[in-house]
Chains A and B, each alone.
Chain A
């Protein structure tokens, strides 16, 4: 059995699929990273992706342009995130409850809206045609390299964008003024306020960025991954992303690696399902378990650090 699995893992299409599966999780995980850095926990990722995914399909159907579809998804994602911001920052709704509300709304709200706009029920399979899906690209030169070409070339545009965004978000957070403000607001809002930084404004901005990323994630799912929109489209990816953010210690690169871990596990599941003696369900459960273990290790290590610092100080004092 192990042989079987290992032979699978070393197939190029398997590695290819990991990237494909990771991309949507990565979008959402980056969304979680940006929001959390500004001190707002965005648990509405799941719902925002589902709704923006729907609008991605709708816009592309109406305009027959995948690009406008993606843009539409981004706009809707941003608006939803800002709406969360309005309730949380302006009306003092607990940000977690605001996120739960978005998720609640998305579940049936999307079906309703779909019916409202198109008269379709439950999915958009009949609206979609291949010309309005997000196209894949063959990378020049790389495509012709054996193995590597097969793995890296031929992905959807948004897959590349997802991984490029890891770098972009890192730059945004660590190399730009707005990023500095986001980090300052999330860590010590008073300090930021004392030098004239508007905390609420920065949190709105962070939520908006979070919404943009969710919008891309949603569009990726409905306009490429599943080829059409349906109610089970996101299937917990928003929550997984939240975990990826936590396990990645809130950093873009960390979040990418934990997203890849989830991607790997899901790719494995798809591969081994149907194989004798391997439970695809149990494999699916693994990443969640790993997340909890990751959280525990992280929490334990920070706790130790605090203790050690205290002990060090005590020792210094004795000297």
Chain B
């Protein structure tokens, strides 16, 4: 096989971030000219890192990149663009109040004397739109056009800058079914005109439908390259979803009793008009850990937001021990005994320039125990924070240390210490061990099991299959805002079965799923 048929060759790519995380380890990635090539993998498999390096946003620690047979050093997106690489980000890089044509030519404006030749900009836009059959309204403002058209603008933006290789980062995640069908037609059209497309996705059906070849990544490594026609959906799922190291957490069998959290018919359509939660119903009982598995973006985040009043659903009910918690202020929710480990600890979990103590006290500072009249009882606070720092093994100089200066694992321990120590009856743990070291991970998992055995109801949301399968007593799989499967006993499960449900190949019947309501 001659090397010339490849437009992109990434050889032995290793990327280690300054914080020590190795996102890519010796990855080889080759794309042929004129193909649609899928890059698949779960969240955290390293595909975004790989693509960031191809687009010049990150530089590889080791390995080389060869574009059209020429070894290149992609130091910035501008260099990548000059080499004919274009990227359509998942979050659009568009300026809302500018027109489509203005967004198209930003940074490379056609000029007539001192002024922008706006007519020319429109002409360029329309010319490209016609040539590539990507219909956009050149004079409309971005703010007024639908998501599907925004995406077309992004593709056109790349094309007008001379891109021959297009990277599309989960392009269908924001689209409706019709828009997706339209996009595929357009992509095939581009392919016929000789463009190369790298398509990041984890939707099996789409991959099967549109791509020629695919590369699967897992845990920062490539799991191989396949002709799309030659590999079955099950085969893909097996390669994509799986555990690398099996850590086991010892736990006794759960003895679940009464229902604590009761979610019924929850519905939510987001601002992009996507149905994120579709008549979702389930219950969590006292003394059990219910895991929610699933590829990210299938409604998990929205669910957690609803449960903590950070967003409002369109319909449905949520109760904790029979009391409504929808639209209830966070203070009340906490008073009812609900705790949340938020998905993004830096956004919700901590006040980073506050001290460890201040962060530990944020949910209880107004309790009687910590106040003497108007003033705080500092001794009680110090005692409590020192106790928590000890109990939760937070590695720090003192309680007065700034929390933002700690390592990720220690920051998470601070969050966990606060959330676990308020005698919660319901713990919502959203990605509780994401991006933290092994020691902290193990510690947090043990604590979670401990609390559930002491009688708390735990809802564990995790994209880490290992975590969710090992910790959960029973488990549901989310797919497209619905529960695709419910497993009352997780001990019989294996990765293969999980993968098929997570990627939408299989689905349990309504009755089977309904069992999670425990009615």
Q: Is B438 an interface residue (CB 8 A)?
A: no
Q: Is B20 an interface residue (CB 8 A)?
A: no
- Are A183 and B98 in contact (CB-based, < 8 A)? yes
Per-residue B-contact encoding for A306-317, CB less than 8 Å = 1, 0 else: 000010011011
Q: Complex: how many Å from CA A304 to CA B510?
A: 41
A184 partner, pick from B95, B108, B116, B157, beta carbons under 8 A: B95
Given the contacts A171-B115, A180-B116, A196-B77, A188 and B94 also touching, CB distance less than 8 Å? yes
- Are B97 and A187 in contact (CB-based, < 8 A)? yes
A185, chain B: closest CB distance, angstroms:
9
- Which secondary structure characterizes the binding site on chain B? loop
Q: Complex: how many Å from CA A4 to CA B77?
A: 68
B157 and chain A: residue at smallest CB distance:
A195
A196 partner, pick from B102, B107, B115, B273, beta carbons under 8 A: B107
- Are B116 and A197 in contact (CB-based, < 8 A)? no
B384, chain A: closest CB distance, angstroms:
35
Q: Complex: how many Å from CA A179 to CA B105?
A: 13
Q: Complex: how many Å from CA A167 to CA B103?
A: 23
Q: Complex: how many Å from CA A44 to CA B516?
A: 62
- Are A192 and B106 in contact (CB-based, < 8 A)? yes
- Residues of B85-131 contacting chain A, CB below 8 A: 89, 92-98, 102-103, 105-109, 111, 114-116, 118
Q: Which residues of A contact B105 (CB under 8 A)?
A: 180
- Are A176 and B115 in contact (CB-based, < 8 A)? yes
- Are B98 and A176 in contact (CB-based, < 8 A)? no
Q: Complex: how many Å from CA A188 to CA B89?
A: 14
Q: Which residues of A contact B157 (CB under 8 A)?
A: 195
- Are A314 and B314 in contact (CB-based, < 8 A)? yes
Q: Which residues of B contact A197 (CB under 8 A)?
A: 106-107
Q: Which residues of B contact A6 (CB under 8 A)?
A: none
- Are B116 and A190 in contact (CB-based, < 8 A)? no
Q: Which residues of A contact B89 (CB under 8 A)?
A: 194
Q: Is B161 an interface residue (CB 8 A)?
A: yes
- Which secondary structure characterizes the binding site on chain A? helix
Per-residue B-contact encoding for A1-37, CB less than 8 Å = 1, 0 else: 0000000000000000000000000000000000000
- Are B115 and A180 in contact (CB-based, < 8 A)? no
- Are B93 and A180 in contact (CB-based, < 8 A)? no
A191 partner, pick from B94, B108, B271, beta carbons under 8 A: B94
Q: Which residues of B contact A313 (CB under 8 A)?
A: 269, 271, 273
Per-residue B-contact encoding for A187-213, CB less than 8 Å = 1, 0 else: 110111011110000000000000000
- Are A188 and B95 in contact (CB-based, < 8 A)? yes
Q: Is B240 an interface residue (CB 8 A)?
A: no
Q: Is B378 an interface residue (CB 8 A)?
A: no
Q: Is B411 an interface residue (CB 8 A)?
A: no
Q: Which residues of A contact B102 (CB under 8 A)?
A: 180
Q: Is B16 an interface residue (CB 8 A)?
A: no
Q: Complex: how many Å from CA A316 to CA B77?
A: 39
Which bucket holds chain B's interface residue count?
A: 20 to 34
B481, chain A: closest CB distance, angstroms:
14
B82 and chain A: residue at smallest CB distance:
A196
Q: Which residues of A contact B106 (CB under 8 A)?
A: 180-181, 184, 191-192, 195, 197
Q: Is A175 an interface residue (CB 8 A)?
A: yes
Q: Complex: how many Å from CA A171 to CA B269?
A: 41
Q: Which residues of B contact A187 (CB under 8 A)?
A: 95-98
- Are A316 and B107 in contact (CB-based, < 8 A)? no
B96, chain A: closest CB distance, angstroms:
6
Per-residue A-contact encoding for B493-516, CB less than 8 Å = 1, 0 else: 000000000000000000000000
Given the contacts A196-B78, A313-B273, A314-B314, A180 and B109 also touching, CB distance less than 8 Å? yes
A194, chain B: closest CB distance, angstroms:
4
Per-residue A-contact encoding for B228-272, CB less than 8 Å = 1, 0 else: 000000000000000000000000000000000000000001010
Given the contacts A180-B102, A310-B271, A313-B273, A191 and B93 also touching, CB distance less than 8 Å? yes
Q: Which residues of A contact B109 (CB under 8 A)?
A: 177, 180
B114 and chain A: residue at smallest CB distance:
A176
Q: Which residues of A contact B103 (CB under 8 A)?
A: 191
B121 and chain A: residue at smallest CB distance:
A180
- Are B161 and A191 in contact (CB-based, < 8 A)? no
Q: Which residues of B contact A181 (CB under 8 A)?
A: 106-107
- Residues of B309-359 contacting chain A, CB below 8 A: 314
Q: Which residues of B contact A191 (CB under 8 A)?
A: 92-95, 103, 106
Q: Complex: how many Å from CA A316 to CA B269?
A: 11
Q: Complex: how many Å from CA A188 to CA B150?
A: 15
Q: Is B167 an interface residue (CB 8 A)?
A: no
Q: Which residues of B contact A314 (CB under 8 A)?
A: 269, 314
Q: Is B81 an interface residue (CB 8 A)?
A: yes
Q: Which residues of B contact A184 (CB under 8 A)?
A: 95, 98, 106
A302, chain B: closest CB distance, angstroms:
13
A202, chain B: closest CB distance, angstroms:
11
A246, chain B: closest CB distance, angstroms:
17
Q: Complex: how many Å from CA A176 to CA B115?
A: 4
Q: Complex: how many Å from CA A13 to CA B89?
A: 60
Q: Which residues of A contact B269 (CB under 8 A)?
A: 313-314, 317
A79, chain B: closest CB distance, angstroms:
25
Q: Which residues of B contact A194 (CB under 8 A)?
A: 77, 89, 93
Q: Which residues of B contact A317 (CB under 8 A)?
A: 269, 273
- Are A175 and B94 in contact (CB-based, < 8 A)? no
- Residues of B147-170 contacting chain A, CB below 8 A: 157, 161
B62, chain A: closest CB distance, angstroms:
27
B54, chain A: closest CB distance, angstroms:
15
B313, chain A: closest CB distance, angstroms:
12
- Are A175 and B95 in contact (CB-based, < 8 A)? no
A20, chain B: closest CB distance, angstroms:
31
- Are B116 and A176 in contact (CB-based, < 8 A)? yes
A192, chain B: closest CB distance, angstroms:
7
Q: Complex: how many Å from CA A175 to CA B120?
A: 13
Q: Complex: how many Å from CA A4 to CA B134?
A: 66
Q: Which residues of A contact B273 (CB under 8 A)?
A: 313, 316-317
- Are B116 and A192 in contact (CB-based, < 8 A)? no
- Are A190 and B114 in contact (CB-based, < 8 A)? no
A316 and chain B: residue at smallest CB distance:
B273
Q: Complex: how many Å from CA A184 to CA B116?
A: 14
Q: Complex: how many Å from CA A179 to CA B116?
A: 9
Task: Identify 17 new A-B residue pairs, CB closer than 8 A, beyond the known A171-B115, A177-B116.
Answer: A180-B106, A181-B107, A183-B97, A183-B98, A184-B98, A187-B98, A191-B92, A192-B95, A194-B77, A194-B93, A195-B106, A195-B157, A195-B161, A196-B81, A197-B107, A313-B271, A314-B314
Residue ranges of A at the interface with B (Cβ–Cβ < 8 Å):
171, 175-177, 179-181, 183-184, 187-188, 190-192, 194-197, 310, 313-314, 316-317
The 7 closest A-B CB pairs, nearest first, are: A195-B107, A177-B109, A191-B93, A194-B93, A184-B95, A196-B78, A175-B115
Can you spell out 29 A-B residue pairs with CB atoms less than 8 angstroms apart? A175-B115, A175-B116, A177-B111, A179-B116, A180-B106, A180-B109, A181-B107, A184-B95, A187-B96, A187-B98, A188-B94, A190-B93, A191-B92, A191-B93, A191-B94, A191-B95, A191-B106, A192-B106, A192-B107, A194-B77, A194-B89, A194-B93, A195-B107, A195-B108, A196-B78, A313-B269, A313-B271, A314-B314, A316-B273
